[in-house]
Amino acid sequence: MEKKQPDKKVIFKSVKEMPPMPVSLYDVSYNKTGTWRNVRPVINYGKCTYCMICWKFCPEAAITLEPVVIKGKEKPKPVINYDYCKGCGICWTECPVDAIETQEEGK
Amino acid sequence: MRKPMIGNHAVSWGATLSRVQVIAAYPITPQTQVVELLSEICAEKKLDAKFIKVESEHSAMAACIGASAAGARSFTATSAQGLALMHEMLHWASGARTPVVMANINRAMSPPWTIWTDQNDSLSQRDTGWMQVYCQNNQEVLDSVIQAYKVSEKLLLPTMVILDAFVLSHTMEVVDVPDQDKVDKYLPPFKPEYKLDPEDPHAFGGLTGPDGYFELRYEMQEAMEQAKSLWEKTGKEFGEMFGREYGLVETYKADDADFLIISSATIASTARVAVDRLREGGMKIGILRIRVFRPFPVERVREIVSSVKKAMVIDRNISFGASGIFYQEVKAAMYNVSNRPPIFGIVTGLGGRDVGVKDIIQMVEDVDRMDSPRSDIIFKGVRI
Amino acid sequence: MIKTTIPQEEVLKSGHLACPGCGASIAMRYALKALGKNTSLDIPACCWSVIDGPFPHSAVGVPLFHTAFETAASTASGIRAAYDVLGKKDVNVVAWAGDGGTYDIGIQALSAAAERNDNILYVCYDNEAYMNTGIQRSSATPWGAWTTTTPVKHPKDRPKKDLVAIFAAHRIPYIATATVAFPEDFVKKFQKAKEIKGTKFILIHSPCPPGWKTRPEDTIKLSRLAVRTRIFPLLEVEKGIHWKLTMNVKKPVPVIEYLKLQGRFRHLTEEDVKFIQENVDWEWELLMKKLENK
């Protein structure tokens, strides 16, 4: 499904636009589950040891690893995608160095 | 090549010639020979198919659906209780638009235990979105399996090819087995547009709310509408290729008939002898045999029934609390036709009780004396 | 070059409909990383029937056949037969079902597939009740747990069905247990299963915040405690007879540490907890007797 993805859930206007059977044609990227969040995780890169535990445990695959160079070494910097983060709290609970702070949404 | 064979083996040969690729079946009398012969054919490498020895009919249909969704031509066979057990998955096959072909040996439903023929098992499934073909002889059984794949795969709706228990399934008739290369010309390999393919991934059957479901069902009905002309077109092509043409219906001496027997399967076949005898006695009588029951051939039924003075439907089935099922469907088809004749409904032969030539002649004579039906069911052959 | 301990590529897409903190979504994310894109899934009625997203959308990024509740294994057998006949023998055929569709309504089909040794990977993500329909008990619900059909006055009074032993008795080539707190162990087991021909069964302990009445952020903690209390041993069984522990638990954590985090166990008395602890100890002793590695 490497095609252009819609920005909201597709409701076909007519049978003429539809496949003949109930098959999916798009992914779920339209569904910005970030709107579910009450509390937002914020990574404090000062404390982060680049252990990648938050990336590993995220149920939404909403954390990506971006290679950055720190003191001449390549490190995997975790970056949270707030479009999809549901605020479940696993990342800040599992972070071994308490490098993830929480912020109430809408404040 | 002409060979004597029982109806069940005609099914096996139909499936073999159709080059089915996945067979998943569970034994039930009187279907067992279908699968036994297919097992042998696969073991002798005359057919390159995978045979899944499933543990129930429900699993048989699930496996066929999975296989079809993955792009393989799949086949199963069952009867009565097995068909009933598959009911949930019959809905699944049609909703998922998987063109599975299944042979159903019409066996009466239990309890009490029975293995003999009537049509309640398949007719109970008439709303599931499966096409249904009722066969009158073993030749038609073999031919219909092949034709069924052609129609099913074009429209993406499953088909059941139906034959009477013992009367056809276990009775020897001479059958012309077509050549494989001719069948290959008639029936190309199965190439679905959407299938389970890691190179082109799709989810099949995801959650659909009221905002989407109706259109999907509309598509199924649309396919059923197209099926009517496709069964006739492919039936004509079958005639051109193999010398035997098939339609949605078949008539016998109906052109100038005043009295019309409407039936299906082997009763329609036995009725020919009755009709010949009655004609000798001067009666203008003919037969309309309904071969394809789903989609129901309304146009053909209207054409033929509106030209007679009286019609009598013989049902080897009953919808409890209503009447014979072919009777209901014929009446419904004729309702809006202005010059419709009185239509009588006979229910007979349940549980395999024999329906012979004399029985049919008696039915005709009794109905001939009536002007209009006094009730929706005239039971014949039951000891009241 | 970033070196990760589990494959880095994401196959599962963000935007899926799982509850926040859902163990089953983490499980699918790891499974797809381990199996890769050359995989076909079939999913019966369960939470994942909804998590994947509504028609015409899908989250998993691989072919997925939604199928009827009891047919996860039979559908997978059909898919596998088709691929074999079509010459696609290398595609991973994976049935992905919840505990309801595996322990209860789907057990017949799975037993049959296992007996035939069909070349499929059957994965059960076990959240210990019928969660998708609103938390009703299944035969996977543990003793003492609250569910809507085992209310606090009548909590579940039967032990959890031992599915690992049942499928070991079928003598299938590979059985493993896994859970989301141990991603490397999880991925390794899936990668191992991928290379084996025949029926493979992997049981995943999958915490469910709404069903267990736990905080979403505790999912990994609970999964870790399940192992560390010896309630959910991480093991492998090969050919149904070689039992191996993949994570030894030398100093177990008392079960109360696991139970006290879960609202579904809040009503338990001291007697109940003692009973649970005794059973966990006894089951562990039994397991020790079966193990080839100690």
Question: pLDDT for B70-120, tens place per residue?
Answer: 999 999 999 999 999 999 999 999 999 999 999 999 999 999 999 999 999
Please work out, in degrees rounded to the nearest 5, the angle formed at the alpha carbon of residue A72 by the alpha carbons of A66 and A75.
Answer: 25
CATH, residue C91: 3.40.50.970
Of A15, A20, A24, nearest to B97 by CB-CB distance is A20
To the nearest whole Å, the CA of A82 is away from the closest chain C CA by 11
B249-380: CATH topology is Rossmann fold (3.40.50)
Indicate yes or no: CB of C8 within 8 angstroms of CB of A65: yes
* List of chain B residues whose C-beta atoms are within 8 Å of the C-beta of residue C58: 201-203, 206
Residues 6+ apart with CB under 8 A from C245: C233, C234, C235, C287, C291, C293, C294
Indicate yes or no: CB of A88 within 8 angstroms of CB of C21: yes
CATH, residue A52: 3.30.70.20
What pLDDT, in 10s, does the model give residues A38-91?
999 999 999 999 999 999 999 999 999 999 998 899 999 999 999 999 999 999
8-state DSSP, B371: S
Residues C110/C103, Cβ–Cβ less than 8 Å = no
Picking from B124, B78, B123, B127, the residue whose alpha carbon sits closest to that of residue B100 is B78
Indicate yes or no: CB of C63 within 8 angstroms of CB of B59: no
Q: Which residues constitute the domain of residue C77?
A: 23-290
Which residue is closest to B213 within chain C, CA to CA? C55
To the nearest whole Å, the CA of C214 is away from the closest chain B CA by 27
Interface of A with B in 2-31 (CB under 8 A): 11-12, 14-15, 18-25
Average pLDDT rounded to a whole number, residues B132-142: 98
Residues counted in chain C: 294
B23: confidence class by pLDDT, cuts 50, 70, 90: very high
Antiparallel, parallel or unpaired: β B50-52 and B285-290: unpaired
Residue A24 covered by a domain: no
* List of chain C residues whose C-beta atoms are within 8 Å of the C-beta of residue B196: 40, 63, 65, 79
The number of domains in chain C is 1
**DSSP secondary structure string, B14-81?**
HHHHTT--EEE----TTTHHHHHHHHHHHHTTSS--EEE--SSHHHHHHHHHHHHHTT--EEEEEEHH
Interface of A with B in 31-60 (CB under 8 A): none
Interface of C with B in 9-48 (CB under 8 A): 37-40, 42
For C57, half-sphere exposure in the C-beta direction (CA atoms, 13 angstrom radius) is: 26
The pLDDT of residue A2 is 57
Indicate yes or no: CB of C217 within 8 angstroms of CB of A31: no
Whether chain A has a CB inside 8 Å of the CB on B96: the answer is yes
Indicate yes or no: CB of C183 within 8 angstroms of CB of A57: yes
Indicate yes or no: CB of B216 within 8 angstroms of CB of A21: yes
Interface of C with A in 229-288 (CB under 8 A): none
The pLDDT of residue C1 is 73
Percentages (nearest 5) of helix, strand, coil residues in chain B: 40, 20, 40
Residue C17 covered by a domain: no
Please work out, in degrees rounded to the nearest 5, the angle formed at the alpha carbon of residue B201 by the alpha carbons of B196 and B203.
Answer: 75
To the nearest whole Å, the CA of A52 is away from the closest chain C CA by 8
Helix (H) or strand (E) holding B200: none
Is the pLDDT at B18 greater than 60? The verdict is yes
Query: Can you read off the two tokens belonging to residue B19?
Result: 């080059």
Of C53, C78, C111, nearest to B52 by CB-CB distance is C78
Q: Which residues constitute the domain of residue A83?
A: 31-104
Of B156, B193, B215, nearest to A18 by CB-CB distance is B215
Indicate yes or no: CB of C42 within 8 angstroms of CB of B198: no
The number of domains in chain A is 1
Report which residue type is found at A75. K
The pLDDT of residue C294 is 61
Of A12, A19, A22, nearest to B206 by CB-CB distance is A22
Indicate yes or no: CB of A22 within 8 angstroms of CB of B95: yes
Residue A39 covered by a domain: yes
To the nearest whole Å, the CA of A47 is away from the closest chain C CA by 19
Question: What burial class does residue C29 get, using C-beta atoms within 10 Å of its C-beta: 0-12 exposed, 13-18 middle, 19+ buried?
Answer: buried
Residue A12 covered by a domain: no
User: Radius of gyration over alpha carbons of chain B, in Å?
Assistant: 21
| Distance of alpha carbon C207 from alpha carbon C259, whole angstroms | 12
A2, A8, A21: best to mutate for the B interface, most B CBs within 10 A? A21
What pLDDT, in 10s, does the model give residues C93-125?
999 999 999 999 999 999 999 999 999 999 999
Whether chain A has a CB inside 8 Å of the CB on C187: the answer is no
Residues B128/B94, Cβ–Cβ less than 8 Å = yes
The pLDDT of residue C43 is 98
The CA–CA distances, whole Å, from B68 to B74, C38, C82 equal 6, 19, 7
Picking from C131, C126, C143, C137, the residue whose alpha carbon sits closest to that of residue C202 is C126
8-state DSSP, B341: P
| Distance of alpha carbon B17 from alpha carbon B3, whole angstroms | 15
Percentages (nearest 5) of helix, strand, coil residues in chain C: 40, 15, 45
Which residue is closest to B212 within chain A, CA to CA? A11
| Distance of alpha carbon B326 from alpha carbon B318, whole angstroms | 9
Average pLDDT rounded to a whole number, residues B185-200: 98
- Which residue numbers in chain C have pLDDT < 50? none
Residue A20 covered by a domain: no
Whether chain A has a CB inside 8 Å of the CB on B218: the answer is yes
Average pLDDT rounded to a whole number, residues B120-146: 98
Residues B56/B85, Cβ–Cβ less than 8 Å = yes
Please work out, in degrees rounded to the nearest 5, the angle formed at the alpha carbon of residue C243 by the alpha carbons of C242 and C249.
Answer: 155
Residue C211 covered by a domain: yes
Architecture of domain B2-242: 3-Layer(aba) Sandwich (3.40)
pTM (two decimals): 0.97
The pLDDT of residue B355 is 98
| Distance of alpha carbon B168 from alpha carbon B139, whole angstroms | 10
Give the three-class secondary structure for C133.
Answer: coil
What pLDDT, in 10s, does the model give residues B230-249?
999 999 999 999 999 999 99
Give the three-class secondary structure for C150.
Answer: strand
The pLDDT of residue A1 is 46
C67, C91, C94: best to mutate for the B interface, most B CBs within 10 A? C67
Indicate yes or no: CB of A59 within 8 angstroms of CB of C215: no
| Distance of alpha carbon C118 from alpha carbon C97, whole angstroms | 17
Bridge partners for B380 per DSSP: B348
B297: confidence class by pLDDT, cuts 50, 70, 90: very high
A107: confidence class by pLDDT, cuts 50, 70, 90: low
Q: Do domains B2-242 and B249-380 have the same CATH topology?
A: yes
| Distance of alpha carbon C257 from alpha carbon C279, whole angstroms | 16
- The proportion of chain B whose per-residue pLDDT surpasses 90, expressed as a percent, equals 100
Indicate yes or no: CB of B89 within 8 angstroms of CB of C79: no
